[in-house]
Amino acid sequence: MRYSNSEKIYEKAVKIIPGGVNSPVRAFKSVDKTYPIFVNRGKGSKIYDEDGNEYIDYICSWGPLILGHNNERVLKGVREAIELGSSFGLPTKMEVELAELVCKCYPSMDMIRFTTSGTEATMAAVRVARAFTNRNKILKFEGCYHGHSDSLLVSSGSGLLTDGYQDSNGITEGVLKDTLVAPFGNIQKVKEILETKEVACLIMEPVPANMGLINSSKEFLQAMRDICDETGTLLIFDEVISGFRVALGGAQEYYGITPDITTLGKIIGGGYPVGAFGGKKEIMDMIAPVGRVYHAGTLSGNPVAVRAGFEMVSHLLENRETLYKELEEKVIYMTDSIEKIAKKYDVPIKINKLGSLFTIFFSDLDEITDLEHVINSNTTHYSIYFNTLLDNGVVAPPSKYEAHFVSVAHTKEDLDRTLEVIDMAFKKIGETNGK
C-alpha cells in the first residue's frame, strides 16, 4: 500500500493545523504511524484515500454512518435541502419535523433543542441541570467522554486517553473542583457522592464507548436511577454514541431505564453536524427564550443538517424491525469468528459487543469492565492489529480506546475479507509472542 499523497498532505497540514488534524483521534500516533490517511471520498462500507487506496471502514465517522457512506436517501434529502438555501438564522419546518420524529423514538423527551455537536448538547444539558436543581457540582464516570466543554474534560476518555492523559490543561481550578468522578460500575461511590445532595446531575454514557466498549447492565442503570431519585439529582444519559445505535430508542429503550435528560449527536444528523438535548417539559422550559438558561447557535438546527438527520432517522424508524437485528447478527458473526482466529494463534483477547458496536481488547483478563483493565490491555498488539488491517485495505479505529462501528452497508463479503485480514494480523501477533 502506498501512502505518499497522504504523507505529502500531512507535511503541509502539520505546519498549519496542530498535529495536522482537526480532532485528535484522527491522528494515528497511538498506533505508531507518523501520519494518518487523508480521505478523499466514501461510498457504502468503503472509503478511498488520496492515494486511491480502498478500505473497508469500521470508523464510520465515529458512529453517525449507520447506513454507510453517502447513503442514497440521505444524499437525496441533502441535495433537495441545499437547493433551498444553506442557513437562514430563522426557524424552518424541518427542525420541527425532526424534533417530533426524535421525541417519538425517545419518549423520555417531551421537548428537544438542537445544537451543532454532541459537545454543545452535553454542555447545555449540564447547564440546565444546574439551573433546575440550583446545585453546582456534577458527577461523571472515569473514562467516559462527553465532548470537550471545560467541566466535562475531567477523567475523560476517547482522544485524551489515546494520548495518554485524561484531564486537559487550560481549565480553571473552580471548574475542576465542581466535577466529581467515580469509577464506572461503582454503585457505592456514586451513592456516597450523591448523598451529599450537592450534585446537580450524574452525566453518563449508559453504555461507555470511549474507553473501548464497556458492558453496562439494567441493574446498574436502575441503581443510578434510584440513587438520583433519592437525592434529587438529575440523571443525564449521554446517548451521543448509543442513541439510534444500540436500539432505535438508544440505551434507555434497550435497558428500559428513563433518564431526566438525554443528549444525542452523530446519527441524529445523518453524518452532518447536529446534536440535541431534551427531557421533561418542566426542565426544558428553563431554556431561553422561555426561561433564563441560555443556549443558542447560529447554525443550530441547520436546514441541510436536520434534513440529513430526518432522512436517516426516518429510515431507521421505518426499518427498525429488521435493521437492528441484522446489524447485531453481523457483529456476532464477526466477533465469534475473531475469537476463533485468536484461539488459532493463541492470542489472548476479550471482545465486548453490543448491537453494532464492538471492541477487541488484547488482554488475558476474563472480563474487561473498567478503565484500569483497558489501560492495561496490550497497546503493541493493538498497533500490529491496526497496521496490518490498514496495509490490507481495512480501517479499524486508530486507538485501543475506541469501538468498531458496523453499518448496514457492510456486506458479508466485506466481513469475510476483514476476517481474512484479521487472520493475518493475529498470526503476526502470535509470532511476536514467540509462538
Ligand X SMILES: Cc1ncc(COP(=O)(O)O)c(C=O)c1O
Q: Is 266 a catalytic residue?
A: yes
Helix (H, G, I), strand (E, B) or coil at 37: coil
In the complex, what is the shortest distance from the CB of residue 115 to ligand X, in angstroms, rounded to a whole number? 9
Q: Considering the rule CB under 6 A, would residue 261 count as an interface residue with ligand X?
A: no
Rank residues 92 and 158 by Cβ distance to ligand X and give the closer one: 158
Geometric angle at alpha carbon 351, from 39 and 224, rounded to 5°? 100
Catalytic choice (49, 178, 238, 260): 238
Kindly give, in sequence order, each residue whose CB lies less than 8 Å from that of residue 360, ignoring residues fewer than 6 positions away: 338, 349, 350, 351, 382, 385, 404
In the complex, what is the shortest distance from the CB of residue 74 to ligand X, in angstroms, rounded to a whole number? 18
Beta bridge partners of 48: 41, 54
The one segment of 237-245, 313-321, 377-385, 394-402 that binds ligand X by CB under 6 A: 237-245
In the complex, what is the shortest distance from the CB of residue 11 to ligand X, in angstroms, rounded to a whole number? 27
Task: Tell me if 283 sits within 8 A of 234, measured CB to CB.
Answer: yes
Rank residues 158 and 378 by Cβ distance to ligand X and give the closer one: 158
Taking the CB of residue 328, how many other CB atoms lie within 10 A of it? Answer: 18
Q: 262 phi and psi, to 5 degrees?
A: -120, 140
Q: Considering the rule CB under 6 A, would residue 146 count as an interface residue with ligand X?
A: yes
In the complex, what is the shortest distance from the CB of residue 402 to ligand X, in angstroms, rounded to a whole number? 9
Rank residues 179 and 210 by Cβ distance to ligand X and give the closer one: 210
Rank residues 210 and 407 by Cβ distance to ligand X and give the closer one: 210
- Residue sitting closest to ligand X (CB): 118
Q: Considering the rule CB under 6 A, would residue 356 count as an interface residue with ligand X?
A: no
The per-type count for the chain, helices as H runs and strands as E runs, is 15, 14
In the complex, what is the shortest distance from the CB of residue 150 to ligand X, in angstroms, rounded to a whole number? 14
In the complex, what is the shortest distance from the CB of residue 59 to ligand X, in angstroms, rounded to a whole number? 11
Helix (H, G, I), strand (E, B) or coil at 223: helix
- Cell (9 digits) for 334: 464477526
Rank residues 62 and 361 by Cβ distance to ligand X and give the closer one: 62
In the complex, what is the shortest distance from the CB of residue 273 to ligand X, in angstroms, rounded to a whole number? 8
Rank residues 276 and 425 by Cβ distance to ligand X and give the closer one: 276
Number of residues that bind ligand X (CB under 6 A): 16
Q: Comparing C-alpha atoms, which of 332, 349, 328, 365 is closest to residue 400?
A: 349
Catalytic choice (266, 330, 350, 400): 266
Beta bridge partners of 140: 181, 203
Q: Considering the rule CB under 6 A, would residue 404 count as an interface residue with ligand X?
A: no
Taking the CB of residue 272, how many other CB atoms lie within 10 A of it? Answer: 19
Q: In what order do the strands lie in the sheet with 234-238?
A: 111-115, 275-279, 261-264, 234-238, 199-204, 137-141, 179-182
- Cell (9 digits) for 73: 436517501
Q: Considering the rule CB under 6 A, would residue 67 count as an interface residue with ligand X?
A: no
Q: What part of residues 70-129 is at the interface with ligand X (CB under 6 A)?
A: 117-119, 122
- Cell (9 digits) for 414: 466485506
Task: Tell me if 405 sits within 8 A of 60, measured CB to CB.
Answer: yes
In the complex, what is the shortest distance from the CB of residue 205 to ligand X, in angstroms, rounded to a whole number? 5
Q: Is 238 a catalytic residue?
A: yes
**Binding ligand X by CB under 6 A: which of 62, 237, 310, 382?**
62
Rank residues 251 and 421 by Cβ distance to ligand X and give the closer one: 251
Q: Considering the rule CB under 6 A, would residue 401 count as an interface residue with ligand X?
A: no
Rank residues 117 and 302 by Cβ distance to ligand X and give the closer one: 117
* DSSP string over 239-253: -TTTBTTTBTTHHHH
Rank residues 381 and 400 by Cβ distance to ligand X and give the closer one: 400
Q: Is 106 a catalytic residue?
A: no
Instruction: List Cα–Cα distances, 117 to 69, 93, 291, 344, in angstroms.
Output: 19, 20, 22, 43
Looking at residue 314, its amino acid is: S
Q: Considering the rule CB under 6 A, would residue 275 count as an interface residue with ligand X?
A: yes
Catalytic choice (58, 145, 272, 324): 145
In the complex, what is the shortest distance from the CB of residue 184 to ligand X, in angstroms, rounded to a whole number? 13
Task: Tell me if 58 sits within 8 A of 394, measured CB to CB.
Answer: yes
Q: Considering the rule CB under 6 A, would residue 241 count as an interface residue with ligand X?
A: yes
**Binding ligand X by CB under 6 A: which of 9, 153, 200, 240?**
240
Q: Considering the rule CB under 6 A, would residue 265 count as an interface residue with ligand X?
A: yes
Q: What part of residues 160-219 is at the interface with ligand X (CB under 6 A)?
A: 205, 210
Q: In what order do the strands lie in the sheet with 46-49?
A: 39-43, 46-49, 54-57, 394-395
Q: Considering the rule CB under 6 A, would residue 398 count as an interface residue with ligand X?
A: no
Q: Considering the rule CB under 6 A, would residue 155 count as an interface residue with ligand X?
A: no
Q: 398 phi and psi, to 5 degrees?
A: -80, 40
Active site residues: 145, 238, 266
Residues that bind ligand X (CB under 6 A): 62, 117-119, 122, 145-147, 158, 205, 210, 238, 240-241, 265, 275
